[in-house]
Amino acid sequence: MPPYKLASRESKPENTVVRVGDCLIGGGTPVVIAGPCAVENEEMLVNLACRLKQMGVHILRGGAFKPRTSPYSFQGLGEDGLRILAEAGRVAGLPVITELTDVQHLPQVCRYANIIQIGSRNMQNFELLKEVGRLKFPVLLKRGLSATLEEWLLAAEYILAGGNREVILCERGIRSFETYTRNTFDINAVPAVKYLSHLPLIADPSHGTGRRELVLPVARAALAAGADGLMLEVHPCPEQALSDGPQSLRPGELAEFMQELQGASYQRPRVSA
Ligand code: PEP
Ligand code: MN
């Protein structure tokens, strides 16, 4: 038995499916989570959310508490951002996901969001993991910037061991020597994690590449490798985005990809020993 007992395939051979509203994550049909990096203002987000719903996106994303490298960068709108995100989701008819960065924000985040995102920088914030482990609430756990698969699955184990079984993993690229891309999307991790664990896996090629023109090719690769869905940053005007503009798709680009996805059958590769 691997050290991440509850997360392992050995402990549970069948895939875990996490239900969020009508949407089944890990249920066989690729799930698309999309939205801006950060919630910026209500009008923009409501309009974008309605457009995303029309395209066939399943879940709306938007950060309200932003973990930024520089203290001078936009830090997010905080509770106002949560309220705007929930309102945009309500108007468009989409469940919403947002990042939790501190235990003190947990009650607000649970009130407004349908999925809690634990960001890369907090993958090993063990107190945060234990807190969300006490809930019965979907949690998307991003891989740490330089976490091994075992460290990542052990982080998931903290949540599972607390009694919360609604864990979704998210590969978002790792640090490498390459500087052309923001991160190196670890395509190996996709089939490896599906082999090692029963948990659903979402691919985030936006942070995984950091470059708009690379996002959709890597998205296709991740689905072909067995990812259960995608998390894609999209902004109506990436040039003016307050965070992560260079990796944000334009709505038209995403609309075209959604059409492609609806026509395509990304065969789920079989997990075999
Ligand atoms: C994000 O999703 O906007 C984010 C900050 O992601 P990560 O934790 O992967 O850097
Ligand atoms: Mn971002």
CATH number at residue 72: 3.20.20.70
46-76: b (≥16 Cβ within 10 Å) or e? bebbebbbebebbbbbbbbbbeeeeeeeebb
In-domain check, residue 195: yes
How many angstroms is it from 97 CA to the middle of ligand 2? 13
Which stretches in the chain have pLDDT values below 50? Answer: none
Distance 13 CA to ligand 2 centre (A): 33
Count of Cβ atoms closer than 10 Å to residue 179 Cβ? 6
At 123-152, the pLDDT tens digits run 999 999 999 999 999 999 999 999 999 999
Residue with tokens 């460290």: 151
Residue 188 lies inside a defined structural domain of this protein: yes
CA of 77 to the centre of ligand 1 (A): 16
Residue 273 counted as domain residue: no
Instruction: Read off the pLDDT of residues 242-262 as tens digits, 9 standing for 90 and up.
Output: 999 999 999 999 999 999 999
Question: What are the two backbone dihedrals, phi and then psi, of residue 164, each rounded to the nearest 5 degrees?
Answer: -90, 115
Specify if 270 maps to a domain. no
Tokens of 42: 């209500």
Number of domains the chain contains: 1
Q: How many residues does the chain have?
A: 273
Please tell me the predicted confidence (pLDDT) of residue 171. Answer: 99
**Cα–Cα distance measured from residue 200 to residue 34, given in angstroms and rounded to the nearest whole number:** 17
Would residue 268 count as lying in a domain? Answer: no
d(CA 130, CA 134): 7
Q: Which residues line ligand 1 (CB under 6 A)?
A: 37, 63, 67, 119-121, 142, 172, 207
Query: In the beta sheet, which residues pair with residue 234?
Result: 249
Angle at 65 between CA 63 and CA 68, to 5 degrees: 95
Does 84 map to a domain? yes
**Which one of the ligands is nearest to 206 CA?**
2
pLDDT at position 264: 83
Q: Which atom of ligand 1 is nearest to the CA of 121?
A: 8
Ligand 2 centroid, distance to 233 Cα (angstroms): 7
Q: Which atom of ligand 1 is nearest to the CA of 172?
A: 9
Quick one: which atom of ligand 1 is closest to the CA of 67?
5
Tokens for 206? Answer: 């936006």
pLDDT score recorded for residue 10: 97
Residue 11 lies in a domain: no
Give the residue whose CA is nearest to atom 9 of ligand 1.
Answer: 120
Please tell me the number of the ligand nearest to residue 140's CA: 1
Q: Which atom of ligand 1 is nearest to the CA of 66?
A: 5
Q: How far apart are CA 118 and CA 184, in angstroms?
A: 20
Q: Is the CB of residue 247 less than 8 Å from the CB of residue 207?
A: yes
Nearest atom of ligand 1 to the alpha carbon of 38: 3
Please return the burial class of 157, using the count of CB atoms within 10 Å of its CB with bins 0-12, 13-18 and 19+.
Answer: buried
Residue at 237 is within a domain: yes
* 207 CA → ligand 1 middle, Å: 7
Contact predicate 198/13, CB 8 Å: yes
Ligand lying nearest the CA atom of residue 99: 1
CA distance 233 to 144: 19
What does the pLDDT read at residue 91? Answer: 98
> How far away, in angstroms, is 273 Cα from ligand 1 center?
32
Nearest-angstrom CA–CA distance, 134 and 113 = 17
Residue 117 structural domain: 18-263
